[in-house]
Structure 1
């Protein structure tokens, strides 16, 4: 015969189990339900972004295109697409999915958050640029309208992200990227890098490995089906056309082309003299402030003072002061080599 104490213990344990499972907003059931709801929200927002980018490039996607581009189960994608249609975020035309006005507005809000986060990571943190996109992909689903507005204000309402992509305004206005992909230009073209596409990641990583920067001037010397060769900041670069296609160039007008020979400070050799042209736009945040505080400012004359046994770091004579920096920092300082070195620095 079961004792009353046993009944009481079973009752207490059952009650605790029910509390753990179904406690309002905190129980396991509600957490799983909210998690599924959040996962569905994220999937819908990712699909909206995918549709926006496709339409922006003049392409159309159907349901199979969406399914084949992700690792998500087919049934979940179909359910999400059905929910998007029910909410009038998308419509179907000739088998293809089109964003409605509401869907376009929603997609632009997500893209705005993503690009603001990349700008924040580049300006305010020490995260490496190869990590910006992945972090922003996660954070773009987290901020509401007020938090997004606060982030934009904190950054000074920037117009472009660190890759050169326009940041949509809170009203959904998007600036046009001027220029064309690098392979579209003929040999001899001199231009400036306006935009570097960060997708697909495998191509973006190749561009990062080359240390190519937004705002850098390029001179295309060879362009064919196999490779594109160009000079930039005293270095030669060789890219496959499929990689170069992710780099947007704005051709410079004749009156914009100067005779300056711009190099990276990391290319300066012993006994060569130079003056600082400026600091690359790619150098941001704390590193930029530190270099300026050390005296690496425009028109300052500079030369190598000492070289370490491994050639990194090097010590540069700046305003009669020997300052040691690593090549990883020196590559952001742009110089023009000069024939004579004045005894007194500006």
Structure 2
């Protein structure tokens, strides 16, 4: 399988990452590295997230999105600080300039008001808005803890795949702007074959996605959109993992951030991505071990991961775009537009095909 012509996503059993035997962890790392270099997307099984934990998350999300719109707007993402909470349909606009047909609720890494990152005023860092729904906090926070721990384990596997010590990246992830999104696509019997979320690469290091309906499509190197439906094997729901902008850059392009989109579907659809990121002040540049000459590093402006993520939010969310237009907020220095990483260079050709 090559990046140019893949027709389906590879499936990797990662149970060996939890083994005490380094040989088992290295074997999984080799598979992770191959998929990250050649495709940028893959499924994982043997992840250890229980069916009960996933069921609890789904029940909490269904309860939330069934509530009255005005009630949900009481937890709007623009209320208070931290950029967390309810995202109504049409709030986000990606590269194509068309609002997305979905609603969402965003949960972040929990940080207390006296955490140094919060005291320093870092956007995206802080507490969460927890809806007044019985059991919601316990179900969602427990799931977040489990899937974030899985992300840490994958990051260690990626380190091994890159020839590093498996704990080489641990210090980069202490209190990151890692967001869990509960996403709901309403029933739409009139849906046509048009995007629900516009084509994009993810800003963070990598994404762990669980969805219950088809709709996700991945752009291969020949400019064709490849379906990535939900997969269950022996009763275990598999996660979709995709490399994001940050890991592509950190590895000087060894791993690829692959463009993807969500197509509209007529059935109701729930999607739960966890965007795994490094700490806010981590600089966007290749790590020295992947760019010893510094040639590729020189191509990147001086901007942190957090500022890049914040600048993407400022250019994507309607309420933030309006604040920028009014001069209440400004883009961080050296901010890029929303379509300059990953495989966007092939997107125009794909859309014309």
Normalised by the length of structure 1, the TM-score is 0.26
Select the structure that is richer in helix: 1
Structure with higher RCO (Cα < 8 A, 6+ apart) = 2
User: If you compute each CA radius of gyration, which structure gives the higher value, 1 or 2?
Assistant: 1
Normalised by the length of structure 2, the TM-score is 0.25
